[in-house]
Structure 1
């Protein structure tokens, strides 16, 4: 009986949908923090029970919208929208685009549930400059990939650090190993072509060492 009671405590008796949205939103907050955006400790430490207390077992995704700004430059704002439908279509994206334009937020992230039509993707890709919208499937955000025990440490070089590195080794960024912009780490940090990432490996079986990759 004691063992059964212990197992019951480990079971999540709430809805799967609220659990998935909680996990995805938590990862988004961590991702924004790691990109240099302002994120409160309360948002980072929110528990699943508290999330369900605030938003219920079947959350209204319009209430989950996040808007924040860069710590170093409050004029650089970002908006995160969660798409409620299983298959995001052009009409849904038009509503989100309208919301982004009305808020005059140049950077945005849309988290969609399962799938998105080609027409919807094209509408996002054709957003006018200077607007930029990133797309993440919810399943890609259920776990923070940077916290995996086997993942090496990634540090994004500033423009000054990049210039110093290239000068030190007398190389151009084209001569460095590549990291695709579509790589999971690149997407997590929102990296742009030309940015350089310092990767530090410190696993016990091998001696700690560093390498650099340029986003392509």
Structure 2
């Protein structure tokens, strides 16, 4: 990919991600409206990182662009050390998104699982190509919403669910799961409309 095409790709991915995160309640004002030339300058100076805050739930998300080289586990551990320990920018309840140039392989997915299981740090690694369109606006993707803790409790009581294994699951690595930041154990409410304009709801629990 030429540098010009790469800048266009970064610009588009950034705008789409900001729109999705804004829909999730994160304040995006400081990062909206940047031109391609401004993004080019930020890319050159390695200033593409974003830090957003959702004041309603007091949650932050940090977005890191890592496009120059193939990302390796040591790179991810270094980022975690900086963001969660040395600089203490993020807490364990916050989200960390890394945008890379390739599709994450099995090694990276296993690493994400391991870090979440052992350190309770939630990392999402996304191929930049998947952010060239907004998956929420695709005609074949129904509306997904993460249930709150109280809604989850009500849902389980309503359907008499005592074992999460009785709930159909969705992987945390599904494209819609990645952009909406659902964590293992949380539940999606999914609205699907039929040809008769009847909307039905169904539920999926996020798995590792």
TM-score, normalised by the number of residues in structure 1: 0.75
Per-residue deviation, 1:213: 1.6
Matches within 5 A, 1:29-178: 29-40=18-29, 43=32, 46=33, 50-56=34-40, 59-60=43-44, 62-74=46-58, 76-89=59-72, 92-93=75-76, 95-100=78-83, 101-104=85-88, 105-106=90-91, 107-114=95-102, 125-126=114-115, 129-172=119-162, 173-178=164-169
Per-residue deviation, 1:61: 6.5
Distance 2:159 2:129 in 1: 40
Distance 2:87 2:19 in 1: 23
Judging changes above 3 Å, is the alpha-carbon distance between structure 1 residues 204 and 117 closer, same or farther for their aligned structure 2 residues? closer
Indicate the residue corresponding to 1:185 in structure 2: 176
Contact 1:179-1:214 at 8 Å conserved across structures: yes
Deviations along 1:9-56, one digit per CA (max 9) or x if unpaired, are xxxxx921111001111222133223332222862xx3xxx4223133
Compare CA radii of gyration and give the structure with the larger one: 1
The two structures, once aligned, show a CA RMSD in angstroms of 3.1
Number of aligned residue pairs: give it. Answer: 197
TM-score, normalised by the number of residues in structure 2: 0.77
Unaligned runs of 5+ in 1: 1-13
- Aligned match of 2:191 in 200, 205, 212? 200
Per-residue deviation, 1:77: 2.3
Contact 1:66-1:81 at 8 Å conserved across structures: yes
Distance 1:88 1:102 in 2: 21
Contact 1:61-1:83 at 8 Å conserved across structures: no
Unaligned runs of 5+ in 2: none
